[in-house]
Amino acid sequence: MKAALSGSGGFIGRHIAASLRESGYEVVPLPRSFLVEENRGLRDLLKDAQVVIHLSGAPVIGRWTRRYRQEVYDSRILTTRRLVEAMRSLEQKPGVFICASAVGIYPSEGVFTEEGTRIAEGFLAGVVRDWEQEALQASVFTRTLLFRFGMVLGKGGGALKTMALPFRLGLGGRIGSGRQMVSWIHVEDVCRAVRFAIGNKSLFGAVNLTAPSPVSNREFTRVLAKTLRRPALMPVPGFALKAIYGKAASVVTQGQTATPGRLQQAGFQFRFPHLEEALAEVFVKTG
């Protein structure tokens, strides 16, 4: 079996690629250069792939200048459009297409499963909305899933790699008020959910890739500090983040409460449903 994967060099992509290889897949990376400009080689890489997974996209944390906003947008919408067009041109279409998305599509107030129709306002939510619309163009010829990622926790990368350092130095603390919600998931459950979704034909459309127990930033901070055996006495003021990142600070000063309704209804069992055990796996075993 063959799986084509964009973003294979990133934190999440590396884990998914390894997981699929362990399951017997030949994993073919899709270079970003093949997705940002017309390249006949993209079609060749996709040929005979039963699974296509699209994770590529510029980081959303960065000062949202006009130029960078365009990069964030194009790195998702245009690459997805090119990938869908390439899949459409194949004589033998892939059986499943999984496209990354984000819980940032949801408003910061309320609890959301995939059945909700409310969409947040603002730049990031607009990017996610358009991203998903591009991916859904593939649904006419292949089963298409939109994986709405929460914060992914795991060793060696992701948000925790940045967050852990100030805590280890005793400088960690909540962000802003700490009341904003954090929808998270352990990277091992991400990999298990990918394999589960590939094999479960009842799953399609939007799927929240989040653990069933979202927490506030204040609670996340408390559990992280406890896991690392460090104090959490240095809150980060929201205005300081806004001074550094501008409107992009809203990514961490606001949050979403997203629950994995469709995964659970389909029978998926989380290995790490609670934050304490997820962070313990990331940090305690490695010291």
**Whole-angstrom Cα distance, residue 22 to residue 43?**
25
Does 88 have pLDDT greater than 50?
Answer: yes
* Band of pLDDT at residue 37, cut at 50, 70 and 90: confident
Q: What is the pLDDT of residue 239?
A: 63
The pLDDT of residue 133 is 97
Confidence class of residue 241 from pLDDT cuts 50, 70 and 90? low
Residue 81 has pLDDT above 50, yes or no: yes
Q: Domain segments of the chain: what residues?
A: 2-150+187-210+259-270
The burial of 273, by beta-carbon neighbours within 10 Å (0-12 exposed, 13-18 middle, 19 or more buried), is given as middle
Q: What is the pLDDT of residues 100-140, one digit of tens each?
A: 999 999 999 999 999 888 899 999 999 999 999 999 999 99
**What's the pLDDT tens digit per position in 6-16?**
999 999 999 99
pLDDT at 287: 42
Q: How many CB atoms lie within 10 A of CB 45?
A: 20
Q: Are 172 and 234 in contact (CB under 8 A)?
A: yes
pLDDT at 252 exceeding the cut of 80: no
Over range 228-243, report the average pLDDT: 75
pLDDT at 272: 98
How much of the chain exceeds pLDDT 70, in percent? 95
Residue 206 CA to residue 201 CA, distance in Å, equals: 14
Does residue 145 register a pLDDT over 70? yes
Classified as helix, coil or strand, 126 is helix
Please state, in angstroms and as integers, the Cα–Cα distance from residue 20 to each residue in 4, 8, 123, following that order: 11, 12, 33
User: Mean pLDDT over residues 22-42, rounded?
Assistant: 90
Does pLDDT of 156 surpass 90? no
For 258, the enclosing helix (H) or strand (E) is: strand 257-258
pLDDT at 77 over 90: yes
Reply yes or no on whether the pLDDT at 243 is more than 80: no
Query: Which pLDDT tens digit goes with each residue over 174-194?
Result: 888 899 999 999 999 999 999
Q: What is the mean pLDDT of the chain?
A: 91
pLDDT at 240: 65
- Would you say 96 and 50 are in contact if contact means Cβ atoms under 8 Å apart? yes
Q: Which CATH superfamily is domain 2-150+187-210+259-270 in?
A: NAD(P)-binding Rossmann-like Domain (3.40.50.720)
| pLDDT over threshold 50, residue 286 | no
Mean pLDDT across the stretch 141-166?
90
